[in-house]
Amino acid sequence: MIPEGWKTSLLKERDNCNQMVQLAKQSSVNFKEDLVSSFLLDYISSLARSLGENPKEDTVLSCFRILLQLITKGILKDPKGEREKQILSLFSSLKFPLQEDFVSSVSFTVNAMTKLSPSQEIAFLKRLTLMSSDIRSLEDLKKLIGFFIWVGGKPEYKTVGLDSALHLGEELKQKLGSDLGKSFADFHSGFSHSPFGVLNPQNTSPIKYKLISGYPLLGGHFHSPPLIEKEEEGFLIHSGDDCFQFFFDLFGESLYPTERKRAPLISKTVPPFWKIILEKNFKENEITSVAAEDGFAIVTVNFSYQIFLFYKTEPQ
């Protein structure tokens, strides 16, 4: 049964929830409406264990919006699937990070999980769940995920993985070492076999790029050319009247619909390092917006509905 507090809020916000479902149907061919009812009970029941049985109405709306996004992205697609079962189990036990920042916690976890093979995903989710009672913050969660992605078979994350593990609290360190059957001294050398499977070292380019979303008919989100805006706490993507929160981390990216609160503040300023990179790919008059930091540059151009993300990696 859905806890009464959640049920009351969902009924009160029924019109907004229905509107979000209709928007999801219009925005993506990948969205399957029947899965909403298939997952809703188990999803809400899991969150109630972490977020409490009487959440605020804006929390309920945010959680419902994330459910639609997880369905659209194919993260939740089989109501009886083992991966889906493990995801909901993790949500039910990951109390402190979800209470601190629900959207960021889910985004970071999902982005990282999709870096792994299907069998590794299950091991990754189970290990996070095992550690969940000692994960006291979003920062703890990020550090632990960074380590797991490295030992999950991604040698390019060795540097961040080791650094993350060394800066964990002592309780998490001890539990992590006990779970993996290794001392932290062992982690400093690249071992050939991890709890997630065999590591296959590979050469990586120091600069990588990826394309994000695009036309709805191609599985994207945008009905008009997008623009990127950097905010104090993150990034916004503007596409016509639509607005999205954009989350980008070491492991991937996520877009979540949000309300536009003011006119966009768009910049085309490109730092010197990224200017050299971008000049190899675009003409100056093709760039419509840029948001750049030392480690990455997010770019939109006038001939595409895609977002271009360039980022640095450390070759191993």
Domain boundaries defined on the chain: 4-198, 207-312
Average pLDDT on 108-124 reads 86
CA 266 to chain centre: 24
What is the C-alpha to C-alpha distance for residues 34 and 76, in angstroms, rounded to an integer?
12
In 3D space, the residue among 14, 23, 28, 37 whose CA is nearest the CA of residue 258 turns out to be 23
Residue 198 confidence (pLDDT): 43
Q: Is 168 helix (H, G, I), strand (E, B) or coil?
A: coil
If pLDDT is split at 50, 70 and 90, which confidence band does 316 have?
very low
Average pLDDT on 232-251 reads 82
Distance in Å from the first CA to the final CA of the chain = 50
Residue 165 confidence (pLDDT): 79
* Better-scored residue on pLDDT, 280 or 219: 280
Per-residue pLDDT at 14 exceeds 50: yes
If pLDDT is split at 50, 70 and 90, which confidence band does 182 have?
low
Per-residue pLDDT at 297 exceeds 80: yes
- Name the percent of the chain in helix, strand, coil, to the closest 5: 50, 15, 35
Average pLDDT on 221-241 reads 86
pLDDT tens digits, one per residue of 183-227: 655 555 443 333 444 444 444 557 777 888 777 655 677 888 999
Residue that the structure tokens 């503040």 belong to: 265
Residue 287 confidence (pLDDT): 94
pLDDT tens digits, one per residue of 65-86: 999 999 988 999 999 999 999 9
* Residue 166: C-alpha distances to residues 108, 125, 183, 191, 248 (Å): 20, 21, 12, 17, 23
What is the C-alpha to C-alpha distance for residues 258 and 184, in angstroms, rounded to an integer?
42
Per-residue pLDDT at 105 exceeds 90: yes
Residue 194 confidence (pLDDT): 39
Long-range contacts of 164-173 (CB under 8 A, 24+ apart): 167/143, 168/140, 168/143, 168/144, 169/134, 169/136, 169/140, 171/134, 172/131, 172/134, 172/135, 172/140, 172/144
Average pLDDT on 22-26 reads 86
What is the C-alpha to C-alpha distance for residues 172 and 261, in angstroms, rounded to an integer?
40
In 3D space, the residue among 234, 214, 233, 235 whose CA is nearest the CA of residue 224 turns out to be 214
pLDDT tens digits, one per residue of 123-172: 889 989 999 999 999 999 988 888 888 777 676 677 777 778 788 888 88
Residue 218 confidence (pLDDT): 58
User: What is the rounded average pLDDT for all residues in the chain?
Assistant: 83
Burial class (CB in 10 A: 0-12, 13-18, 19+), 126: middle
Residue 205 confidence (pLDDT): 55
